[in-house]
């Protein structure tokens, strides 16, 4: 079990779906940051269940308590502990799976690894854990905002419905205007209907989230193993249900020639070094180059469906698993703030690490930027 992430801005999440609470401890948040409670709650609200009929109907207020690390409205450089009480557990919905393994859930692997599991609502493997990430990510966003960094994710695909436009042709301010979180309202409407139909059939469907990050200066990211995009990839892949990650030109870039793919440099009118194209996705050699960073994350259809499925029980005997509980037919609308939160956690850690790497830089070198 590693429920910790980060080198300098370290988070430790805890909590099971149906335990008393979930939460997170942030160790390494610099002092002096105005702790904007309202903003953090706003981020949690974007993720919380029950937002529309295409999300799970579990009713969680997802209000958080600050146990430490904030004084006079400011961070103190000390660990910030945030907890969110679980209020609407219906653990009895899960009694039937105490002895069964739900297909494509983590029931079997947790049992294999740990010899037991808290089966209620998926226990620790539940996506409920991501609420803690969103809370921590909101703090990271506050710090990044001070440095001009903006992170915006949106739904670009649901099932086979693809938004085939680059982010540069979209108005990302519209993302939050609809429950699907797709900035194209037409496509959002189609997606909503598609998810809703899937829900009615007791089935689930996958999707893709795109994310765009602006305002990151050249120089963030730590080669060789902790390349900026490698950490982003790990962070995204650590989110429940994620099956793939690509940045910049991604899998499609494979089919380009180098002469097409290379991003030529030029100096803009302000004297800043820029690239004419951005197949690199804002990252070269694992380090940000000052252009927009963008990436895509693929989510599988959620495993819980309202249909009977064949499986085995803890003794290996065949059983039929029936769908119960309250679940999302498609996770991507609620996963948008999670993607943003994880991106924020990666970036803030890289910002702090880069700060340390700059010790001893002379003025001349700093001027280069």
Nearer to its own copies, 177 or 361 (CB): 361
Nearer to its own copies, 171 or 226 (CB): 226
Part in contact with its own copies (CB under 8 A); list of ranges 51-59, 170-178, 184-192, 243-251: 243-251
Q: Is 296 marked within a binding site?
A: no
Query: Is 200 a residue that touches its own copies (CB under 8 A)?
Result: no
Part in contact with its own copies (CB under 8 A); list of ranges 40-48, 166-174, 184-192, 205-213: 205-213
Q: 271 Cβ partners below 8 Å, 6+ apart?
A: none
Within 22-173, where are the H helices?
A: 37-47, 107-114, 130-146
Q: Is 304 marked within a binding site?
A: yes
> Which of 138, 155, 293, 302 is the binder for its own copies (CB under 8 A)?
302
Query: Is 369 a residue that touches its own copies (CB under 8 A)?
Result: yes
Q: What radius of gyration, in Å, describes the C-alpha atoms of the chain?
A: 21
Nearer to its own copies, 74 or 171 (CB): 74
103-126 in b/e burial notation, b at 16+ Cβ within 10 A?
Answer: ebbbbbebeeeeeebbbbbbbbbb
């990839």: which residue's tokens? 233
> Which of 134, 139, 155, 208 is the binder for its own copies (CB under 8 A)?
208
- CA–CA distance, 134 with 152 (Å, rounded to integer): 14
- Closest contact distance (angstroms) between CB of 174 and its own copies is 22
Query: Is 101 a residue that touches its own copies (CB under 8 A)?
Result: yes
Residues 11-50 that bind its own copies (CB under 8 A): 12-16, 19-23, 25, 27-28, 30-33
DSSP per-residue string spanning 149-161: -EEEEEEEEETTE
> Which of 49, 121, 137, 301 is the binder for its own copies (CB under 8 A)?
301
> Which of 56, 222, 325, 336 is the binder for its own copies (CB under 8 A)?
222
Report which DSSP code applies to 226: B
Query: Is 110 a residue that touches its own copies (CB under 8 A)?
Result: yes
Report which DSSP code applies to 51: S
**Which among 39, 75, 68, 47 is positioned nearest to 240, based on CA atoms?**
47
> Which of 298, 338, 339, 344 is the binder for its own copies (CB under 8 A)?
298
- CA–CA distance, 168 with 184 (Å, rounded to integer): 13
> Which of 39, 203, 214, 292 is the binder for its own copies (CB under 8 A)?
203
Query: Is 106 a residue that touches its own copies (CB under 8 A)?
Result: yes
169 Cα distance to chain centroid: 23
Query: Is 111 a residue that touches its own copies (CB under 8 A)?
Result: yes
**Which among 288, 272, 268 is positioned nearest to 280, based on CA atoms?**
288
Nearer to its own copies, 128 or 152 (CB): 128
Residue 46 structure tokens: 């974007």
Residues 263-292 that bind its own copies (CB under 8 A): 263-267, 271, 273, 275-276, 279-281, 283-290
Part in contact with its own copies (CB under 8 A); list of ranges 45-53, 167-175, 181-189, 219-227: 219-227
- CA–CA distance, 157 with 209 (Å, rounded to integer): 7
> Which of 60, 62, 129, 184 is the binder for its own copies (CB under 8 A)?
129
- Closest contact distance (angstroms) between CB of 152 and its own copies is 21
State phi, psi for 101 to the nearest 5 degrees. -105, 115
- CA–CA distance, 51 with 68 (Å, rounded to integer): 30
Query: Are the beta carbons of 288 and 354 closer than 8 angstroms?
Result: no
- CA–CA distance, 44 with 61 (Å, rounded to integer): 9
- Closest contact distance (angstroms) between CB of 156 and its own copies is 10
DSSP per-residue string spanning 96-123: GGTTB--TTSSHHHHHHHHS----GGGG
> Which of 78, 150, 190, 193 is the binder for its own copies (CB under 8 A)?
78
Part in contact with its own copies (CB under 8 A); list of ranges 39-47, 167-175, 184-192, 314-322: 314-322
Known binding residues for NADP(+) are 47, 53
Known binding residues are 47, 53, 124-126, 240-241, 285, 300-304, 326
Known binding residues for FMN are 124-126, 240-241, 285, 300-304, 326
């Amino acid at each position: 079990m590693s429920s910790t992430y980060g080198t300098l801005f370290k988070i430790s999440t805890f909590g099971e779906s149906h335990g008393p609470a979930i939460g997170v401890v942030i160790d390494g948040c610099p002092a002096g940051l105005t702790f904007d409670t309202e903003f953090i709650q706003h981020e949690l609200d974007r993720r919380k269940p029950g937002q529309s009929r295409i999300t799970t109907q579990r009713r969680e207020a997802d209000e958080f308590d600050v146990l430490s690390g904030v004084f006079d409205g400011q961070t103190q450089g000390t660990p910030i502990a945030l907890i969110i009480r679980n209020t609407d557990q219906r653990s009895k919905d899960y009694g039937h799976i105490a002895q069964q393994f739900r297909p494509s859930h983590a029931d079997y692997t947790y049992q294999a690894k740990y010899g037991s599991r808290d089966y209620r609502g998926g226990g620790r493997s539940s996506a409920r854990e991501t609420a803690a990430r969103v809370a921590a990510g909101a703090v990271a966003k506050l710090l990044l905002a001070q440095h001009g960094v903006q992170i915006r994710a949106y739904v670009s695909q649901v099932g086979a419905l693809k938004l085939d436009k680059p982010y540069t042709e979209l108005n990302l301010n519209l993302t939050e205007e609809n429950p699907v979180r797709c900035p194209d309202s037409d496509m959002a409407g189609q997606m909503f209907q598609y998810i809703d139909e899937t829900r009615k059939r007791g089935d689930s469907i996958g999707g893709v989230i795109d994310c765009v990050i602006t305002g990151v200066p050249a120089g963030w990211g730590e080669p060789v193993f902790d390349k900026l995009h490698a950490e982003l990839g790990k962070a995204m892949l650590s989110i429940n249900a994620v099956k793939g990650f690509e940045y910049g030109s991604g899998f499609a870039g494979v089919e380009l020639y180098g002469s097409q793919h290379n991003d030529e440099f030029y100096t803009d009118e302000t004297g800043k070094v820029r690239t004419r194209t951005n197949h690199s996705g804002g990252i070269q050699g694992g380090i940000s180059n000052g252009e927009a960073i963008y990436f895509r994350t693929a989510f599988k259809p959620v495993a819980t469906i309202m249909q009977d499925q064949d499986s085995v029980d803890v003794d290996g005997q065949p059983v039929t698993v029936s769908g119960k509980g309250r679940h999302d037919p498609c996770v991507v609308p609620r996963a948008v703030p999670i993607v943003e939160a994880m991106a924020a956690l990666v970036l803030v850690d890289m910002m702090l690490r880069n700060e340390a790497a700059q010790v001893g830089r002379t003025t001349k070198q700093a001027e280069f930027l």
